[in-house]
Amino acid sequence: MVNPELFLERLEKVIQFHGLSASQFADRIGVQRSGISHLLTGRNKPSLEFVMKVVAEFPEVNLYWLLYGQGSFPEMEKENDLTSTKTSPCPPSKGELREKGNDPTSTTGSKDPSIKKVIIFYKDGSFEAYENDGE
């Protein structure tokens, strides 16, 4: 069961993470501003439609984290052939990469260990991407 007080704390964390006011957040997800106000004051409980709008607009918000506090926030998907796995808050160690068969120091195997793309995500929701065009 969803704890309304903890849900509101997590919702406020999402709003603060993106540097939005409650009315800006409402506009961004396409709900009435009064609806956000009623939610944040505890007058109303979130509907399934509301929760799904938040998750759809902010892909770094994990549904289970928002509802139950399970998982992490923000959550970003890797942009490589392992699309079903999520990134951890810290980059994997060389040992973890070796266990998964992605040892960056290995010269065996068919994968090229050179860096293809680096993406830096900022707390305000913006990002910078750097690509390695050389071969």
Q: What are the residue boundaries of the structural domains of the chain, listed by start? A: 4-68, 76-135
CA proximity to 86, closest of 109, 59, 68: 59
CA-CA distance, 102 to 24, in Å (whole number)? 42
| Residue range 30-73, pLDDT digits in tens | 999 999 999 999 899 999 999 999 999 999 999 999 999 988 88
**Model pTM?**
0.55
- The CATH superfamily holding the domain 4-68 is lambda repressor-like DNA-binding domains (1.10.260.40)
* Coil, helix or strand at residue 127: strand
Of 2-11, 23-32, 56-65, 93-102, the least confident = 93-102
